[in-house]
Structure 1
Amino acid sequence: MVALTLKELLQSRAAEMGERTAVIYKDDSISYRELEARVNRFANALAGLGVGRDDKVAIMLNNCPEFIVTFFACSYLGAVAVPVNIFYKERELEFLLRDSDAVALVATPSFAEFFSRIAEKPPLFKWLITTEPYAEGQLFRELEGKGSGEPLDIEVREEDVAEILYTSGTTGIPKGTMLTQGNLFFHADAIIGVLELNDDDRALMVVPMFHGYGITVMLCCFVVGTSFVLLDPFNAEEVFQVVEKYKVTFLPMVVAMYFMVYHHPDREKYDLSSLRIGISGASAMPAQLMQDASGALDITILEAWGLTECSASATIQRMNMPYKEGSVGLAHPGVKVGVMDDGGNLLGPSEVGELVIQGPLVMKGYYKRPEETEEALREGWLHTGDMGYYDDEGYFFMVDRKKEMVNVGGEKVFPREVEEVMYTHPAIAEAALIPQPDAKLGEIPVAVVALKPGASLSEGELVEFLEGKLARFKVPRRVVIMESLPRNPIGKIVKKDLVRMLSEE
């Protein structure tokens, strides 16, 4: 693959493909030439405000053209895009804005309740840009309309940071993962080769673009010069309608989406024959669902494995190789995936250890966290915290997590963060968050708590308390109240005992 930057990619596509459709949104088509012109104008407008090289621009938007324009405009400026999970609450958003040193926030006014309170806590962002009118912000379309059409003479290099994606990592403390222009393009090229994508394909973009998964799908489409249809929020019947209307061939989704698509009662009413391939990422896909969904949609669904720190994935199943149940496939071309013991020794086939990664898709590091970066990238490998093994043919298998995270349909929930919020409730003496298997989402978070003497607390009261402080996917779906939580001799809550107790119910 010829090394490209986001800027070079879009400029070349506009020059070579002109009026070919790049994005479809609410039945409106945007050509590559129009998209590049919009990006150029918005980049000039941001430059006029004072946004420059290495500045951070937070993007808190649903799947929409403004997300794409802002993401690419950052590259045109040599600035850094910081996608924000749209489900974040005020506390989480404030942390991300402060930690990332964002100078601007591009958002929808539906988050307006946060803006004024956050803006009162300097030093935070200087400029608020909204997609719809909002008294305290600048309107996106007006700002874009004022931007010059002249190309910006700013050099962007392969090693420059393109985006910072926040991940909780192994400790539960949010960290900004710095991914370079080169990281993103190497990863997209690897996926394209495996999926055999070409410019006759058309994708459905229903996975959130604020995730690395969504960014990957977008870049894959733009690199091969094809288009995608933006859809947000997810609705199974709308997926069917879009596939039928626009002859979608490529269906990237997460497990929960495939679950709802497969079980939808009206699925067979639609013509889905254009579909040829799907990909599942963000969480493990149950073998039965893989079989059922593939058969019902008459497509090949490939499962990928990875993490934000390696640009989203490092392994994927193959189109032209046997499917092995439980496997997450083989390493991407040009990427090394190994299994390492606690002593830093690489293990052989069938030996279980920590999965580690080397290659051009591995992050530059964590933003402003040199110690955590050194820990994650030690011995020349990215340490994932996931346990697994590979077989004699190079297929990788996940067996467990070192991390205690709960994977809710692809959204990573780290117990420590939720537990700290639970402990702020005056009635709670002990608290733990554990996973419980779920047929639809893979796992759901379950809160197990013990109350202070004389205190009372219902499940609904705790859920209501947490809903105002945490993103919806982090809020426990079930609350179990016990007299006390099991602890080991040194006083640590033994979560595996709690998991076992719930599984035996």
Structure 2
Amino acid sequence: MAQVENKVLLPNIQRNVEDEFPNQRISDFLVAEVEKLKERYGDEQLFTDWNTGSCVTSSQLIEDAYKIASEFKRRGFQPGEVISCLVHSDVNYYSFLLATWMSGCILSSLQHSFSQGSLTVTSLRKVCQPFCFLCTLDLLLKLLQTSRTRLLLCDQEGAERCLAAKAECDELEVFVLGEFKGCVSFNRLIERKAFTIDELKRSDPYDPNETVSMVFSSGTTGEPKGILLTHLNIYSYLLTARPNANRPGMKTLFVPRIGNVMGLVFGLRGALIYTKTYLMSSYKDEWLFQAIEEIKPERAMLYLPHILAITKHPKSETSDLSSIEAVFTAGMSVSKNLQQKFFLKLPSLKTFFMFYGMTELAIATMRPFSDYEQNIHRVEVLKENHRSKPESIGQLCPMNQMKVVDECTREMLGPNQAGELCFKGPSVFKEYWNNPEATADIIIDGWLHTGDIGYYDSDGDIFYVRRSKELIKYLGHHVIPSQLETILKSHPGVEDAAVVGIKCEDCGELPMAYAMKKPGYDKLEAIKLINFLHDRVHDEAMLRGGLVFIDEIPRNVMGKISRNQLRERAELEALHFTSSR
């Protein structure tokens, strides 16, 4: 039975922050732990790029971190300054991360989508003037300027765009992993001798609530928000959900990009248990099977598109995937039916870890809560074992608390009553960067309001129902309806428009639009309006659910779109439209 006190759900296994988290800065803790493991097991490769073969050992990780921190000191960086990073996947990322924390600086992790588009800010403004939220280079420039970043590390994929932003940032230095004309090579950061530990040591006292990282959200209503994470938050990521079967020498294949929170977590967790983490700096579905056969990893971190590849790609029939014992995923719920297909493809899979959380919250729940010992790799067991509850998003991780509140009244609800999921604990983020209004909207009386609708049952298993906010999640990508609606309404023949997500077992949700024609545009065809939008958005935002003309967009008394009403209609109409461009 779940532990419920005054309608607040408590974890089955409770831990105290004082007992679990070290009373020291995260960088000091990580260095000390890796040093101890190196002494016990020898100098091992911690990070390897499967595509290129480049690697970083435990001693190199620490040595390079001290060298980079020394360069930051020579450049006059002070605690609290922001250092930015725009990297898809690279083995040197973790040394850079450690060095930033050693210096007391804040690592700002930017997304590669911020740097896509035209090569100059001016030309981009001319092309996208009506749709400022699509000006991703403008957005990159704004984020660099508002955070007063003086140093940016990028990879070759984003180098040209970063140089375009540098043209309008006088003090910005752009370092690149590899070589790119106009950028300073990353090797310049590690070519000089490091200062001594005493010279780099900070004299100010340790504050567990000091900001160490800033990760940007996708933003449900406009520009991304900077999510500030503290030492306490990072510890909660690293130390609250620890599978008992972790063992030194294990091999982990980490397929997603690493320049986000999950990359930070799994890379550093791997270093803490001395596993060998293999990254993929470039990705194709067929390479995934090749990498698994060559590396023979016991564990893999996969997102929904990778899970779909393993269940559907022809190479899954001929590839040897038998080494994988555990798979970790996050970002989207994986349906029971897809889980069953996935287990059939991986004959040695013992556990499928599905994490629920958000950057503002870290890992809130984990399923299955038990461990590798609960072997559910047979589909028959997965169907019959009531405790596994594959449709659940798991149970609370230690140190978290959860309540469910009514969407309108915010009255607390009990078991099996659906409402907004709210969490409290050391994993809740500090605040949004320079945005107290948005912070106050999401953290109320110490509780983080997720915007997700769900419930918990008498066993403490938690279930996700739907989003209450506007965000649509397609294959893990965040699609913002208001942005698509603005584009649709910019068409001369559209009076009003609304975009909702319709459920799709394989993809999560498909964006679907309803549009109201202006007088005189009776002959406007849906396919022409769809293509009008597709010419102005990225692939993930395409209207794969289709578009339907409607006499009037339903709105409430406040003038807001009645999205629930449209979702119900969309599910009934069950359009599954895929356009060709």
TM-score for both structures, normalised by structure 2: 0.78
1:184-241 Cα deviation digits (max 9, x unpaired): 1222212224x64222422111122123222221122122222210113343332233
- Equivalenced residues, count: 499
Asked if 1:233 corresponds to 2:282, the answer is yes
Residue 444 in structure 1 maps to residue 510 in structure 2: yes
2:392 equivalent to 1:327: yes
User: Using a 3 Å threshold, how does the CA distance of structure 1 residues 135 and 200 change in structure 2: closer, same or farther?
Assistant: closer
Specify the code of the residue in structure 2 equivalent to 1:395: D
Partner AA of 2:36 in structure 1: E
Give distance in 2, aligned partners of 1:83 and 1:291: 35
- State the distance in 2 between where 1:314 and 1:495 align: 28
How many Å apart are 1:283 and its aligned residue?
A: 0.7
Contact map agreement 1:21 1:227 (CA 8 A) in 2: yes
Q: 2:47 aligns with which of 6, 9, 23?
A: 23
Which residues in structure 2 correspond to 1:56-71 (within 5 Å)?
Answer: 56-71=82-97
Shift of 1:310: 1.0
The reply to whether residue 487 of structure 1 matches residue 562 of structure 2 is no
CA shift, 1:385, in A, is 1.2
Judge which range, 279-288 or 22-31, deviates more: 22-31
State the Cα deviation string for residues 34-53 of structure 1 (Å, max 9, x = none).
11111221222233233331
Structure 1 residue aligned with 2:191, among 145, 167, 174?
145
CA contact (8 A) 2:515 2:553 kept: no
Is 2:149 the partner of 1:102?
A: yes
CA contact (8 A) 2:252 2:298 kept: yes
Counterparts of 2:457 and 2:427, CA distance in 1: 23
1:185, 1:219 within 8 Å by CA — same for their partners in 2?
Answer: no
Quote how far apart the aligned CAs of 1:27 are.
Answer: 2.5
Alpha carbons of structure 1 residues 314 and 184: separation in structure 2 relative to 1, 3 Å:
farther
Aligned partner of 1:210 in structure 2 is 259
C-alpha displacement of 1:33: 0.4
Is the 8 Å Cα contact of residues 363 and 397 (structure 2) preserved in structure 1? no
Equivalent-residue separation in structure 2 for 1:11 and 1:112 (angstroms): 30
2:529 & 2:148 partners in 1: Cα distance? 40
Secondary structure in 2 aligned to 1:354? Answer: strand
Per the TM alignment, residue 422 of structure 1 is displaced from its structure 2 partner at its CA by: 4.9
Find the counterpart in structure 2 of residue 292 from structure 1.
341
Question: Is the 8 Å Cα contact of residues 255 and 280 (structure 1) preserved in structure 2?
Answer: yes
Distance 2:256 2:188 in 1: 28
Q: Does 1:154 align with 2:202?
A: yes
Larger radius of gyration, structure 1 or 2? 2
Distance 1:303 1:382 in 2: 21
Identify the match of residue 140 of structure 2 among 81, 93, 96: 93
Q: Deviations 1:311-349 (Å, cap 9, x if unpaired)?
A: 244443223562113211110012112212354443221
CA contact (8 A) 1:430 1:484 kept: no
Aligned to 1:255: 304
For 2:103 and 2:543, locate their aligned partners in 1 and report how far apart those are by CA, in whole Å.
Answer: 41
Summarize the Cα distance change of 1:313–1:87 in structure 2 as closer, same or farther, 3 Å threshold.
farther
Output aligned runs, 1:455-494, within 5 Å.
457-467=528-538, 472-477=539-544, 480=547, 482=549, 485-488=552-555, 490=557, 491-494=559-562
Distance (Å, rounded) in 1 between the aligned partners of 2:322 and 2:478: 33
Distance 1:351 1:261, change over 3 A: same
* Equivalent position to 1:395, from 451, 461, 464: 461
Distance in 2 (CA, whole Å) between partners of 1:120 and 1:236 is: 37
Aligned counterparts of 1:87 and 1:330: Cα–Cα separation in 2: 33
Residue pairs, 1:318-467, within 5 angstroms: 318-320=369-371, 322-341=387-406, 342-423=408-489, 428-450=494-516, 457-467=528-538
RMSD value, Cα: 2.8
Q: Which residue of 2 aligns with 1:129?
A: 175
Q: CA deviation at 1:279?
A: 1.8
Name the TM-score, length of structure 1 as normaliser. Answer: 0.89
Whether the aligned pair in 2 keeps the contact of 1:305 and 1:328 (CA below 8 Å) is yes
Percent identity, aligned pairs only, is 22
Task: Show the counterpart of 1:12.
Answer: 32
Report the CA distance between 1:9 and its aligned residue: 3.6
Q: How does 1:155-174 map to 2 (within 5 A)?
A: 157-168=207-218, 171-174=221-224
Greater shift, 413-422 or 283-292, is seen at 413-422
Unaligned runs of 5+ in 1: none
Change (3 A) 1:143 1:187: closer
Whether 1:49 and 2:116 are equivalent positions in the alignment is no
Structure 1 match to 2:578 = none
1:61 Cα offset (Å): 0.9
Decide which moves more: 332-341 or 108-117.
108-117
- Matches of 1:269 and 1:179 in 2, distance apart? 44
- Deviation of 1:363 after TM superposition, in Å, equals 0.7
Shift of 1:361: 1.0
Structure 2: segments with no counterpart, 5+ residues: 1-19, 115-135, 375-386, 576-581
The alpha-carbon deviation at position 111 of structure 1 amounts to 2.7
Q: In structure 2, what is the equivalent of residue 75 of structure 1? A: 101
Amino acid at match of 1:143: L
SS where residue 294 of structure 2 aligns?
Answer: helix
